[in-house]
Structure 1
Amino acid sequence: MARSLQERVDELATAMCDRIRGEIDFYAAVDAVTAEELHRSVRGNLTTIFEQFTGEGRPGPRAPQRTGRERALQGAPLPEVLHAFRTSFAYLWDTLVAEARASGTVGSDSLVDVAADVWRLMGEYADAVATSYRETAAELMLQREHERSVLVEALLTGVVSDRAALWRTAVTLQLPLEGRFLVVAAEVPAAGREALPGIVPLLETRDVRSAWRLLPDRQIGVLALGSAGTAGDVLALLRREPAARTGVSPVYDALKDTPEALRLARIALDALPAGTPAVAQFEESPIALLAAAAPAEAGRMARAVLGPLLDLPADDRSALLGTLDAWLDCGGSARETGRRLYCHPNTVRYRLRRVEALTGRSPGDPRGLSELSAARDVLRILPQSGGTDR
């Protein structure tokens, strides 16, 4: 009976394709799988089945494996692919029953045995299709993630320079060329592990699209703020439960400026205390911008102003710098500074006199105050410049 049906394999394949397209909307409405491709696939699977019935073919579900791979590459949904196989096997069974009745060569008992073989084959074929499909889909996902990662790296390093290449990169990463962007740089807990797991779907709830690159020491993302998303939303999300030291760039408006934004995000990250999960955004103050533009020169300036103070033992240095910071934040009020530091105003004044003695710059003199304030801002932005405790 199988040999008889083998001679009609093209006719049966055509009929099966008609049934598949009649029952499954995907195959009827979408051109991802053409009529020729579907017919070739159905015919190949039918031929393999008949060869297994006649003992002429090699064992193993080669044809369904090939079908699973092809459908994954074509983007066909797996449920619809499996539905097509179930539909085909149902049609095959109907054909076998009709052939048995017409020929009169197969009795009812034998037909029951054939039924067991047909449904066993359907299970094997469905498993082979699904396994091959999933393996291919996983390969494609890795390939696409690798491509995205390479494009993000090119965007971050400025390798993508001309507008045409930048446009292709933006399309692939699903980012606009112009808008409102942020760069996020987070310290990873170990090589190969994400610093911010699950960050992409969280950002999408804030109308923020993103593309990420995982490096041995950093996880870096380019974020495009949507119409409803703001930098404040992103910072609030990152700060809700900070998972790592994370630096955020200022908002910028052109994708081509991503390399500079990354540099500022890294500066913000490096300014955070080591070993403490926290989030900081680079400040767009004049001193911050100057320090970012010329970090080596800014560091030398800070060292020249605060040099002797920075050479003090850690506790003494921390007390004097902390007092200077609080005094600046309190608008030069010794009383308010004392309240903030829980000490007497005279203690504040004593420490400020020590700062003056060590640096040669008086906090009460406008020029001296400006130099002390600028030096402290630089050390907060570039803490490594002064070798101080953070």
Structure 2
Amino acid sequence: MPEPSNEPPQPPAPPVHPHPATLRRLERSSGRLAADAIARMDATLPWYRAMPPENRSWIGLVAQAGIAAFTEWFRHPETPQAISTDVFGTAPRELTRAITLRQTVEMVRTSIEVMEAAVHEIAAPGDESVLREALLVYAREIAFATAQVYAQAAEARGAWDARLESLVVNAVLSGEADEGTISRAAALGWNSPDHVCVVLGTAPDGDSELTVEAIRRASRHAKVQVLTGVLGNRLVVIAGGSDNPLQVAKALIGPYAAGAVVAGPVVPDLLAATKSAQAAAAGLKACFAWQDAPRPVLADDLLPERAIASDPAAREQLVEEIYRPLEEAGSALLETLSVYLEQASSLEGAARMLFVHPNTVRYRLRRVTDVTGWSPSDVRSAFTLRIALILGRLADGDPRS
């Protein structure tokens, strides 16, 4: 019997390429093909000529890597190749921002055209159709790889922008907005409009990204800038470029879920938007107390409900914007308004209590409207005026005030 051999088993011989002559020609021609592709790009693509030398050098490396990847593809047609890594991995990630997808497609098309034009020169006799077919398959794969690279870059950019926008919106709502917030907003395209307001409401169920995109479409139609996000169950929109918050809220109301939508007052800039956000949040909390509230509704129209719900800003606003101006206008206005409200909004009843003519009461009530902007003859305005009078008296009667 033969003695067993102690020699290690030899690895199997590599498979013989079915088209060795064409492969050798392709390997020898790779450098020339890359140079021809770069020369054609320089001759036919104006954007390539206008680029700085550093970016042109990176594009040249991508073209060389693409042709080298095709050579490897042709050498091992049975093995799937990671084209996106082989070709685009030679360039920095910033290159996807330096050149657009359209420009990348033009670059790839130019390189493929140069390779296709050289098929008859490179292929061994009888291998022309084989090489051309391999080039067509490779062109399809490189097109998919190009789309994948830009899709990944867009997704990464979109995810980063979403996180950045969420930071800005949260800073405004929490009262922590600072110069860093303005810088982050500027990176998102916010160009510091003169008029800013915050609109709050309930976010709909489902994908929050779809809701945010719906807000963006509505804002483009309304010609306002927005920073938006879904925080918990609330849909927050910071809108800039309009001095009419109610009009802005009506234009953006579509994506909100059923329920109250409250627009805060207009403020001059993003740093002051916290005031608008806090007013809108307080209004959203107290809105259910006004069952007939319109949708959307201004936070300032909810001042009495907000004041009753212990919103200090609403209480101060009612005192400073209604009670104090009436107090400064003279005791007659305060007394007439108080009596008129106590007499169930009756001109004759108030006149009898004040021992004046009804026309005098009517004149003084018009003066109340001029001073405060609220009409005592309107039921809703009368309610607001009554709350303001109560708060003003409490402030005057408090020794600490």
Interval containing the TM-score (normalised by the shorter chain):
0.5 to 0.7
C-alpha distance 181-68 of structure 1, shift in aligned 2 (>3 A): same
Q: Deviations over 1:73-123 (max 9, x none)?
A: 3253323322321221110121232334xxxxx22x421222111111111
Written as runs of structure 1 = structure 2, the 5 A alignment for 1:101-140 is 106-107=124-125, 109-140=126-157
1:15 corresponds, among 26, 36, 57, to: 36
Written as runs of structure 1 = structure 2, the 5 A alignment for 1:213-224 is 213-224=229-240
Conservation of the 8 A alpha-carbon contact between 1:71 and 1:81: no
Distance in 1, matches of 2:247 and 2:119, equals: 64
| 2:390 equivalent to 1:374 | no
| 2:46 equivalent to 1:46 | no
Distance in 2, matches of 1:28 and 1:11, equals: 20
1:247 corresponds, among 241, 262, 267, to: 262
The structural deviation recorded for 1:297 is 8.2
Greater Cα radius of gyration, structure 1 or 2: 2
C-alpha distance 153-115 of structure 1, shift in aligned 2 (>3 A): same
2:50 corresponds, among 13, 22, 29, to: 29
Q: Deviations over 1:200-244 (max 9, x none)?
A: 222223321010121111111111115xx6434313324689743
C-alpha distance 46-208 of structure 1, shift in aligned 2 (>3 A): same
2:247 corresponds, among 233, 246, 253, to: 233
- Normalising by structure 1, we get a TM-score of 0.65
Distance in 1, matches of 2:177 and 2:34, equals: 50
- Normalising by structure 2, we get a TM-score of 0.63
Q: Which residue of 2 is the match for residue 198 of structure 1?
A: 214
SS of equivalent to 1:175: coil
Distance in 1, matches of 2:255 and 2:205, equals: 19
Conservation of the 8 A alpha-carbon contact between 2:282 and 2:311: no
Amino acid in the other structure paired with 1:43:
Q
Distance in 2, matches of 1:216 and 1:47, equals: 51
Amino acid in the other structure paired with 1:268:
G
Distance in 1, matches of 2:134 and 2:203, equals: 54
Count of residue pairs the alignment pairs up:
308
C-alpha distance 248-376 of structure 1, shift in aligned 2 (>3 A): farther
1:294 corresponds, among 292, 312, 315, to: 312
The structural deviation recorded for 1:334 is 9.9
The structural deviation recorded for 1:287 is 5.9
Q: Which residue of 2 is the match for residue 269 of structure 1?
A: 284
Distance in 2, matches of 1:140 and 1:133, equals: 10
Written as runs of structure 1 = structure 2, the 5 A alignment for 1:154-193 is 154-161=171-178, 163=179, 165-177=180-192, 179-190=194-205, 193=208
C-alpha distance 242-205 of structure 1, shift in aligned 2 (>3 A): same
Distance in 2, matches of 1:133 and 1:32, equals: 22
Written as runs of structure 1 = structure 2, the 5 A alignment for 1:335-374 is 373-374=386-387
The structural deviation recorded for 1:289 is 8.5
Q: Which residue of 2 is the match for residue 259 of structure 1?
A: 274
The structural deviation recorded for 1:147 is 1.9
C-alpha distance 29-158 of structure 1, shift in aligned 2 (>3 A): farther
Conservation of the 8 A alpha-carbon contact between 1:206 and 1:233: no
Amino acid in the other structure paired with 2:194:
G
Distance in 2, matches of 1:287 and 1:196, equals: 32
C-alpha distance 247-284 of structure 1, shift in aligned 2 (>3 A): closer
The structural deviation recorded for 1:176 is 4.2
2:107 corresponds, among 84, 88, 107, to: 84
Amino acid in the other structure paired with 2:233:
D
Amino acid in the other structure paired with 2:114:
Y
Q: Percent identity?
A: 17
Q: Which residue of 1 is the match for residue 117 of structure 2?
A: 94
Conservation of the 8 A alpha-carbon contact between 1:186 and 1:195: no
| 2:228 equivalent to 1:207 | no
C-alpha distance 137-117 of structure 1, shift in aligned 2 (>3 A): same
Amino acid in the other structure paired with 1:148:
E
Amino acid in the other structure paired with 1:37:
W
C-alpha distance 74-260 of structure 1, shift in aligned 2 (>3 A): same
Structure 2: 5+ residue stretches without partners: 1-21, 317-339, 349-381, 392-401
